[in-house]
Structure 1
């Protein structure tokens, strides 16, 4: 009798804790969405709702964020200045930010690249420059390989380019293979644990540079405290683990120019592995190394914008593309943090 009573008490206690955690998670989710509401508009494409921001006029530039991020990760760049001469399109990747992910899709690199290709078509963008950060860099590479006619050039910032056998410390908790288990964690433990470890996580992701004090709001970081974003992050990690070997084997087939900006002190993705190897794998790659970490669009926005302008200046004109003008052989440059490009 005593044992049965104790077991009943334990079950009740566990149920109460789970109830409190779920309520806490829902409350934090509402607060996060109130603090960072949708910035743009949504477009329904093949069962997915893609949230994007579209402003400016001129040749298009599409921005694709990284793991556990959203489109506000690019908010520190002087985009208003760039929008004076270019059309700026910022995308929440499927499952991230305010974009949804079709339940039948697993977050594969090809699947996400296909969604971006469909968005490019829907917005009638003429072979835009695609800017991809971190995991967004790998998806941008998949886009250029699978849909080369939709891409004018790639500008990749600290991109994931090679298979990763050991996840960076801040993302190891995302490698949950059982979908039911990660769904339960997302709705109970992920948010409170994420809040407790958030300062340490940001220090690692941004290091050796400092994370801005307003990153949770201006940079959209607070949206990571939502169950759906945690689940999408888990799926993204597993998809990258599965898909990167096949993607990396295809770089010789790239038909567009690829400029890469990497921080020498990146603590998330080693610039020697993911950056310095790339020019040898494709003659279309140009690598620029600067002193800095992983979050260059946030920590060095002016230098990043200057690098982007240099990339834009090298892009072939529409007339040259139509005539099949040859792309220049790409080389490696190692500029300082203050004069990237």
Structure 2
């Protein structure tokens, strides 16, 4: 019995050591690209490029603002002041007070995330922005608009979560989003998930298109494999649906310009479940369906995304 206990203790120590070592390497290789702003005790990572009307870019689940800096920001920074945020718990933005900890299953709701980022936006002087949300970031973009409809110039949704979906997200999110999964399973994954699995996951996200050359290395996939980030991501995704249900009942109140871009080959956030209903819930919303495009339109069809942003800005009187 004592021998078994000793083995368990040794295993836990090795797991935590290896996870910490991998995290240290990731933080060395992927430091903040922008600056950290203190918002009520939470560090918020913001990167600002360009000049012009304000354009806010919100990344999806398992991501960070580096998703925009591979090449997309270069396409729009010549005519917009582009403000990119890491969402809470991801990239270099911290978790909200009371949400962190190995055994803590608390999570940041879309409304809480939007409120935090709006406070950061006020600090850097953002005014009536066009808010772009990709995937999970779309839920935060919707919360942003609902939180501050008069101060939101327009919204652009990219393969974005907006409406309740049938069924569940699967056992992995349920497990990793629980208190015991976050405390016991997450450190093991953080310590031992191989790069081959990360690369395969990236390809799955881009399917049926291939991931751009160098994408995984640029975005710093290891950032989401850090223990606290992995917990934050799983908890936020696992508990998202009830908040989407509540928010979706208020979409008809929104009157700012909406541009919706969605690939019809997106199997991660299906077009028919999310963007088609949203186009009918928001008066005047314009839906652009991209034939054969998957979940990453900002990379697969950046021209269509640029056009949607320009239309939204023009409709809002910002250009």
Shared fold (TM-score greater than 0.5)?
yes
Look up the match of 1:144: 145
Range with greater deviation from structure 2 (193-202 or 122-131): 193-202
2:98 to 96, 104, 121: 104
Return the alpha-carbon distance in structure 1 between the equivalents of residues 6 and 97 of structure 2: 33
- SS of residue paired to 1:276: helix
Look up the match of 1:328: none
Flag the 1:298–1:317 CA change in 2: closer, same or farther, 3 A: closer
1:22 to 16, 25, 32: 16
Look up the match of 1:325: none
Look up the match of 2:160: 159
Look up the match of 2:274: 274
Q: Does the 8 Å contact 2:260/2:287 carry over to 1?
A: yes
User: 1:189-243, CA deviations, whole angstroms, 9 ceiling, x for partnerless residues?
Assistant: 3442364532332232111111234122222323122111101112211331231
Look up the match of 1:175: 174
Q: Does the 8 Å contact 1:21/1:189 carry over to 2?
A: no
TM-score norm. by structure 1 comes to 0.84
Q: Does the 8 Å contact 1:76/1:297 carry over to 2?
A: no
Look up the match of 1:305: 306
CA apart distance, 1:316: 2.1
Return the alpha-carbon distance in structure 1 between the equivalents of residues 224 and 300 of structure 2: 19
Return the alpha-carbon distance in structure 2 between the equivalents of residues 178 and 159 of structure 1: 25
TM-score norm. by structure 2 comes to 0.90
User: 1:265-290, CA deviations, whole angstroms, 9 ceiling, x for partnerless residues?
Assistant: 00201101111112222213211000
Q: Does the 8 Å contact 1:51/1:91 carry over to 2?
A: yes
Look up the match of 1:315: 316
Flag the 1:28–1:167 CA change in 2: closer, same or farther, 3 A: farther
Q: Does the 8 Å contact 1:195/1:225 carry over to 2?
A: no
| Bigger CA radius of gyration | 1
Q: Does the 8 Å contact 1:73/1:220 carry over to 2?
A: no
Flag the 1:191–1:161 CA change in 2: closer, same or farther, 3 A: farther
Q: Does the 8 Å contact 1:203/1:210 carry over to 2?
A: yes
Return the alpha-carbon distance in structure 2 between the equivalents of residues 242 and 195 of structure 1: 33
User: 1:108-127, CA deviations, whole angstroms, 9 ceiling, x for partnerless residues?
Assistant: 11100111221221112110
Return the alpha-carbon distance in structure 1 between the equivalents of residues 90 and 53 of structure 2: 26
Look up the match of 1:211: 211
Count matched residues: 310
Give the 5 Å matches for 1:1-341: 7-105=1-99, 106-167=107-168, 172-176=171-175, 177-193=177-193, 195=195, 197-291=197-291, 292-317=293-318
- SS of residue paired to 2:119: helix
